[in-house]
């Protein structure tokens, strides 16, 4: 294990030394980007480099390696100049004093009020802002309008509550021929926070307190949500791959036309229309157990690493101004489905699928858990959140699973709260 850590540290050290020597001309800045956003950021960097003498070099990092690699690079004293991170990690790196305070820059932007509120909330630590939104996305539901019609449901009207989804799902499952009413990715923590937590938020509840320091697992909203899922599971309305699914098959399963409602994200619209144009579908925000809507504000935040030179910082912030321009926002919308600014809908969506607007509209109500230990609480395969969902939806002992999760959450929080 130690060997792996040292190999990792040595590797990132070597990588950053190479990068550091390449950026010796003071106007070259390096930017680490998680792979899923790599193509868009590379495109933006290319546009920027074509028009400027300064140069942005994008390095792609696999999503699940971003925290260990960036952590090792910071510990080794050779971090990149900037990073485009999953927004959920901002509190972790800000609290560990790895990021540069850019409060003044952010607040003085004319488009400050148009930055996704959840991105700014996550980037804020002790009243200072450490990042600005790069690429947002939001979780939504997609439903197959053909199946809705066949099951005698109104395809023009999205289900208004989770209990309605459960009722619809059972009707769709009754169509037979291996058709299932509902699909959610139940064996991946990062999918579950994206698609499951919005049910709770829609009902005004949350699994963590506002400051992320205490756990509030046992709420009526949670129990109602779980009851609706169990109802579907008991009726056989949940696609059998849901339980062990890690996301690999979700889109394909929905595209096969045999899934009624899929818990998914805003990127699904452009993905389905380009790869599976035959699927008839509509999208809607994620409802709470008895009504209300919410969404997980996901995506990436651009952060500046602590201690970089003033010139490099200037170039990076100049790059932010560049990609926030209306022209580049249209490019971002085309590539990833949603603009970083919330005041450009008319420009950004003019020539794209209108279904993208559903996620855009819900972004103002969207939330993200503010936490210092996202991986340990939510993402880890042995983590308390994954055990909670698997235990309460597929297990026999709901009370026991809730009690254990509350204890496990508390134990981890007590250790990791800064």
Partner 1 sequence: MAFPTSPAPVAVAQGATPTKPRPPAQPAEPKGWLGLVFMAPSLVFITGLFLIPLGMTLWMSLHNWPLLGRVKFTGLANYAELAHDMQLWHSLGFTLLYTVLVTTAIMAVALPLALLVDRPLRLAGLFRTIYFMPVVIGFGAASTLWMWLLNPDSGVFAQLLRGAGLVDSAPRPLESFWPALGVIILMVVWKTAGFTMVILLTGLQAIPADVIEAAKIDGASVFSRFRRITLPLMRNSLLLALVLNVTSSMLAFDQFFIITQGGPANSTISAVFSIYLASFSSYRLGYGAAMSFVLLVVLVAISSVQLAFLRQRPEES
Where does this chain bind partner 1 (CB under 8 A)? 1-3, 5-6, 67-68, 71-72, 74-75, 92-93, 95-96, 98, 178, 187, 240-241, 243-244, 246, 248-249, 252-253, 373, 375-376, 379-383, 387, 390-391, 395, 412, 418
Q: What long-range pairs does 331-336 form, CB within 8 A, spacing at least 24?
A: 331/43, 331/44, 331/47, 332/40, 332/44, 332/135, 335/39, 335/40, 335/43, 336/37, 336/40, 336/135, 336/137, 336/267
For residue 268, give Cα distances in angstroms to 13, 22, 187, 355, 391.
37, 38, 20, 10, 28
User: For residues 9 and 282, which CB has a smaller minimum distance to partner 1 in the complex?
Assistant: 9
Q: How far is residue 121's CA from residue 102's CA, in Å, rounded to a whole number?
A: 14
* Least spacing, CB of residue 241 vs partner 1, in Å: 6
CB of 310 to partner 1, least distance (A): 25
- Taking the complex as a whole, the smallest distance from the CB of residue 255 to partner 1 amounts, in Å, to 12
Rounded to a whole number of angstroms, the minimum distance from the CB of residue 301 to partner 1 is: 17
Residue number with CB closer to partner 1 (8 or 227): 8
Least distance from partner 1 to the Cβ atom of residue 93, Å: 7
Minimum CB distance to partner 1 smaller for 251 or for 332: 251
Give the C-alpha separation, 296 to 215, whole Å. Answer: 18
Q: Which two tokens stand for residue 132?
A: 């600005």
Residues in the chain: 418
Q: Position of tokens 């880890």?
A: 380
Tokens of 75: 């510990």
Q: Which is nearer to partner 1, 69 or 367 (CB)?
A: 69
For partner 1, the closer of residues 1 and 24 by Cβ is 1
Minimum CB separation of residue 324 from partner 1 in Å reads: 29
Q: Measured from the CB atom, is 92 or 342 closer to partner 1?
A: 92
2 or 50: CB nearest partner 1? 2
Ranges assigned E (strand) in 229-361: 259-265, 281-284, 286-287, 293-294, 297-304
Minimum distance of partner 1 from residue 85's CB (angstroms): 13
How far apart CA 406 and CA 388 sit, in angstroms, is 9
**DSSP line for 192-233:** HHHHTHHHHHHTT--SB-TTSSSB----HHHHHHHHHHHHHH
């Amino acid at each position: 294990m130690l060997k792996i850590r040292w190999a990792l540290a040595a590797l990132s050290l070597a990588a950053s030394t190479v990068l550091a020597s390449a950026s010796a001309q003071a106007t070259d800045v390096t930017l680490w980007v998680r792979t899923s956003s790599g193509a868009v950021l590379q495109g933006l960097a290319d546009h920027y480099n074509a028009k400027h003498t300064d140069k942005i070099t994008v390095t792609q990092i696999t999503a699940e390696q971003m925290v260990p690699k960036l952590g090792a690079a910071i510990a080794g004293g050779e971090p990149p100049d900037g990073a485009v991170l999953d927004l959920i990690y901002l509190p972790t790196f800000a609290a560990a004093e790895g990021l540069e305070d850019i409060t003044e820059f952010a607040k003085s932007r004319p488009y400050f009020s148009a930055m996704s509120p959840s991105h700014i909330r996550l980037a804020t630590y002790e009243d200072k802002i450490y990042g600005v939104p790069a690429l947002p996305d939001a979780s939504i539901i997609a439903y197959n309008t053909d199946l809705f019609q066949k099951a005698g449901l109104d395809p023009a009207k999205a289900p208004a509550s989770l209990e309605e989804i459960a009722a619809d799902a059972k009707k769709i499952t009754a169509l037979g021929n291996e058709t299932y009413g509902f699909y959610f990715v139940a064996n991946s923590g990062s999918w579950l926070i994206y698609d499951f937590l919005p049910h709770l938020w829609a009902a005004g509840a949350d699994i963590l307190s506002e400051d992320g320091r205490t756990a509030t697992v046992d709420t009526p909203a949670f129990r109602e949500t779980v009851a609706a899922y169990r109802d579907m599971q008991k009726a056989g309305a949940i696609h059998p791959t849901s339980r062990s699914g890690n996301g690999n098959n979700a889109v394909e399963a929905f595209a096969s036309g045999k899934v009624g409602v899929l818990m998914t994200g805003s990127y699904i619209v452009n993905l389905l229309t380009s790869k599976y144009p035959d699927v008839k579908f509509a999208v809607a925000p994620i409802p709470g157990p008895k009504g209300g809507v919410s969404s997980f504000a996901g995506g990436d935040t651009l952060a500046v690493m602590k201690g970089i030179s003033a010139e490099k910082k200037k170039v990076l912030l100049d790059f932010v101004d560049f990609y926030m321009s209306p022209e580049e926002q249209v490019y971002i919308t085309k590539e990833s489905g949603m603009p970083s600014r919330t005041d450009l809908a008319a420009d950004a969506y003019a020539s794209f699928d209108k279904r993208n607007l559903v996620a855009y509209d819900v972004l103002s109500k969207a939330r993200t858990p503010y936490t210092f230990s996202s991986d340990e609480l939510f993402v880890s395969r042995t983590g308390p959140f994954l055990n909670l969902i698997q235990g309460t939806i597929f297990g026999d002992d709901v009370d026991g699973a809730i009690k254990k999760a509350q204890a496990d959450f508390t134990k981890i929080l007590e250790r990791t709260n800064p």
